[in-house]
Amino acid sequence: MASGGDARRVARGTWVELHRVVLPPGERAPKLPEETRRVPLELRVRGFLIADASPGESAEVRTAAGRRQRGTLDRVLPPYEHGFGPPVPELMEVGEELRAILRGEESER
């Protein structure tokens, strides 16, 4: 085992994400739509790495619930990537339109 030589080696205790296939296409539930039936049921779980491992290797984590979970080491310190995205022009006009209606109503009072 390389010590310090393998730059991709991830140290135990690191927060990582594992990936595993729970059900391959042939073992999935009956009566699924075709596009779902032909792909595997995949699982992703995060936790603290129990022993040093490299991405792509089988690894084990201790989850936030204290359980051990196995899978392929996929991501190290997985970021939360969801956000808001760009402004939506179709929505941005709505507020001003509605405020204008209320202003019109006020001036009639």
**Nearest distance from C-beta of residue 16 to another protein, angstroms:** 13
User: With respect to another protein, which residue has the nearer C-beta, 2 or 23?
Assistant: 23
Place of tokens 């792509």: 56
With binding defined as CB under 8 A, does residue 88 bind another protein?
A: yes
CA pair distance 20, 22, nearest whole angstrom: 6
Q: What DSSP element (H or E) covers 89?
A: helix 89-108
CA pair distance 49, 18, nearest whole angstrom: 9
Q: Does residue 108 come out as left (phi exceeding 0), alpha (psi in the -120 to 50 range) or beta?
A: alpha
Among positions 2, 6, 11, 36, the unique one binding another protein when judged by CB under 8 A: 36
With binding defined as CB under 8 A, does residue 77 bind another protein?
A: no
CA pair distance 40, 46, nearest whole angstrom: 20
Stretch that binds another protein, among 2-10, 51-59, 63-71 (CB under 8 A): 63-71
With binding defined as CB under 8 A, does residue 76 bind another protein?
A: no
Using CB under 8 A, list all residues that contact another protein. Answer: 22-23, 27-29, 32-33, 35-36, 39-47, 63-67, 69, 80-88, 90-91, 93-95, 98-99, 101-102, 104-105
